Amino acid sequence: MSIIVISFVTLDGIASDPDGSAGSAHGGWMFRYGRGPVDGDKFRLGALMTDGALLLGRGTWQAFARLWPAREGAFAERMNAADKLVATRTALDTSAWANSVALEGDLLDRIKQEPRDVVVIGSLSVVRQLAEADLIDEYRLLTFPTVLGAGEPLFPAGVPMAQFDCVDAEPAGELVFTRYRRAAR
């Protein structure tokens, strides 16, 4: 089992409010380059969408549950068909998005027991919990040529040191796709 984090990030490391749904002052920065750079399977999830499970925090799940069920196309079909685990501390009706289940109990304990690969989408609070517990095996990042100077970074101060190897880096139009896998321990 591997834990894979996918994230949109700015040059200065900000990962919060890429779509503007949180209403932050600089939110919506990922759409400044149009929808093309973010449409489809830009993170190369492939079989992970079928064989693994998506892990989303409550806020990300709620935003996605409003959007994805109505979308069409091959990637939307895969997103909608994927198993979705929702990290939440309060009751949540997951019927709005197929194959979603709210996780019960401690997030870290539950994820350590998950036999499938887990793909974390957005959900900075979930990413931080996993990073602090040294559970992340891979990062797949789509970096935007934007400096915000404010917002929540993907890697805040205090995250434990971890070593990763760059296994892929390539331009994606104005953006850069990078993939980092955990270095041998």
Q: Residue 158 maps to which CATH number?
A: 3.40.430
- Residue-wise pLDDT tens digits, 67-94: 899 999 888 899 999 999 999 998 999 9
Q: Is the pLDDT of residue 163 over 90?
A: yes
Identify whether 76 is part of a domain: yes
Distance from C-alpha of 31 to C-alpha of 21, rounded to nearest angstrom: 12
Distance from C-alpha of 19 to C-alpha of 184, rounded to nearest angstrom: 35
Domain that holds residue 146: 16-175
Q: Is the pLDDT of residue 38 over 80?
A: no
Pick from 8-17, 38-47, 90-99, 119-128: least confident: 38-47
Q: Is the pLDDT of residue 180 over 80?
A: yes
Residues near 8 by beta carbon (within 8 Å), at least 6 away in sequence: 15, 18, 30, 38, 141, 142, 144
The DSSP bridge pattern shows strands 175-182 and 53-57 to be: unpaired
- Residue-wise pLDDT tens digits, 136-146: 999 999 999 99
Identify whether 90 is part of a domain: yes
- Residue-wise pLDDT tens digits, 49-60: 889 999 999 999
pLDDT-above-70 percentage for the chain: 99
Identify whether 128 is part of a domain: yes
pLDDT level of residue 31 (50, 70, 90 thresholds): confident
Domain count for the chain, please give it.
1
Identify whether 33 is part of a domain: yes
Q: Is the pLDDT of residue 37 over 80?
A: no
What pLDDT was estimated at residue 35?
73
Identify whether 107 is part of a domain: yes
What pLDDT was estimated at residue 2?
95
Identify whether 182 is part of a domain: no
pLDDT level of residue 173 (50, 70, 90 thresholds): confident
Nearest-10 Cα torsion for 164, 166, 171, 174: 20
Tell me the mean pLDDT in the region 93-105: 94
